[in-house]
Amino acid sequence: MCSLCGILGVNEHWADAVARPGVYTRNAGSIERRRERARRVQLANVVLAPFNMRLADWQGTSFVVSTFTGKSEIIEDLGHLWAAAERLSGRACDPLDPDLIGRMEAAADG
Amino acid sequence: MAEVPAFTPVNLLTGFLGSGKTTLLKRMLAAPALADAAVLINEFGEVGLDHHLVERIDETMVLLPSGCLCCAVRSELAEAVRDLHSRRERGLVPTFRRVIVESTGLADPFPVLSTIKADPVLRHHFVPGTVITTVDAINAGAELDDYVESNRQVAVADHLVVTKVDLAGEDDVARLTQRLRGLNPDAVLSIADERLDVAQLVADNSATRAGTAMSQSGFFCEEPPGLPERSAGRHSAGISSFSITVDKPIDWTAFGVWLTMLLNRHGERVLRVKGILGIAGEARPVAIHSVQRLVHMPQHLENWPSEDRRSHVVFIVDGLDPELVKRSLHAFAVETEASS
């Protein structure tokens, strides 16, 4: 459910489309979809770590993004993640920030 | 009654003030292939005039209230399209299979597309179609210098139609064409002469964008034709385009994390992203396509369009550093030996 408008079953976010044939919808490929969600959480956490935040799956339908001090927000999909992360941390989550790019490069090499 | 498509494409016809939008619209509506299009016209002036100029007044021709589509009358747009849809369902208007929205010359095109995508009713029945931008061969140079709206209209276009070429010199047209290519390297560029096939302008909508049609045209996968040296700083608005080629497979999940993050922070400055991606673990490529914060559903292509298996992504940005975008994409989303 969208926390802003309260609409159930809102639009599928584009990033939810797993890049494999046949699993572009939530009606199919449930295992692949869960696996994909788990990976998404894992990857998002690499990016969120420098901001002292973490992401967790919530019931296989939503995500919870939270700060290390416990401020939390439920989000529907990746489209809402970064806006929520910026709100909670009070910082800009900018993928073009050279420091953040440096950290990601180091993470990929490590 | 003619069959109603599952998703009715909504095409946007835009272009700066006086650039020939209404003339082109009139011509499009005269084409047999577009006879079943409903039309929404938005004018900035106090007295609506354009709908008289197109000389086709019926129930599927709707004049939106005065005011600019991108700021004042967005809800009216959604309401007008919903109303058309409702009347079509009830058989009160002739069945239309397409909607063409003619925007004011000053409108930022993005809100029109996002309205279609975001409205809870419309998004189940309509799909954003191609964006057609008219560019006036006489005045466009000065407009591109002075008005950011004009640059944005060019940057988000799928089809650029250069008008008034009969009034301009050949050199002017060549210069303008070069400049348009710099702003938007992969839009289809046409001249509004008698050879222009107007049906083609709307044919390539996002529902059919993937697959063979796109692959055959090489739309995504070649270096942008005639792309001049990077033009950052040359235009007053700071709009530039560049393409990134990635040799290694892209991690789809990480790419999603990266692009959502980029669009959240810089969405209004990332005017366009188009690309064909080689995904790790997948034989078939995925096409992506976005306009500012609006990302269309990614499409699986049947085959790679050529022997080239590398990923190519074209960006049209307003003031972002291409090197930084490239470095960021690699750092976030490209598989390395260590991670694969």
Inter-chain contact A78–B338, Cβ cutoff 8 Å?
A: no
Cα distances from B24 to residues A17, B21, B74, in angstroms, run 37, 5, 23
Q: Say how many domains are in chain A.
A: 1
Give the pLDDT of residue B337. Answer: 53
Cα distances from B212 to residues B220, B289, B313, in angstroms, run 12, 16, 19
B115: CB partners within 8 A, 6+ apart = B74, B77, B78, B122
Give the pLDDT of residue A105. Answer: 92
Q: Are strands B239-246 and B270-277 parallel, antiparallel or unpaired?
A: unpaired
How many CB contacts within 8 angstroms connect chain A with chain B? 94
State how far the Cα of A65 lies from the Cα of A46, in Å rounded to an integer.
Answer: 13
Reply yes or no on whether the pLDDT at B338 is more than 80.
no
Give the pLDDT of residue A8. Answer: 43
Cα distances from B221 to residues B28, B165, B203, B209, B314, in angstroms, run 30, 30, 20, 14, 10
Out of A12, A43, A105, name the one closest to residue B331 (CB).
A105
Q: Model confidence over B156-209: pLDDT tens digits?
A: 888 999 998 888 888 888 889 888 888 888 788 888 888 888 888 887 644 333
Inter-chain contact B260–A82, Cβ cutoff 8 Å?
A: yes
A20 neighbourhood in chain B, CB within 8 Å: 282
Give the pLDDT of residue A69. Answer: 94
For A13, the domain range is 3-109
More confident residue, B293 or B158: B158
A18 neighbourhood in chain B, CB within 8 Å: 252
Inter-chain contact A83–B262, Cβ cutoff 8 Å?
A: no
Give the pLDDT of residue A101. Answer: 95
CA angle B137, B140, B141 (to 5 degrees): 105
Inter-chain contact B328–A96, Cβ cutoff 8 Å?
A: yes
Distance from CA of A39 to the nearest CA of B (A): 7
Give the pLDDT of residue B265. Answer: 92
Q: Model confidence over A26-80: pLDDT tens digits?
A: 555 677 777 888 888 999 999 999 999 999 998 878 899 999 999 999 998 888 8
Sequence letter at residue B252: W
Q: Model confidence over B231-278: pLDDT tens digits?
A: 444 444 577 888 899 999 999 889 999 999 999 999 888 888 888 889
Task: List beta partners, residue B318.
Answer: B239
Give the pLDDT of residue A27. Answer: 53
Confidence of residue B62 (pLDDT cuts 50, 70, 90): low
B281: CB partners within 8 A, 6+ apart = B249
Out of A21, A39, A86, name the one closest to residue B253 (CB).
A39
Sequence letter at residue A23: V
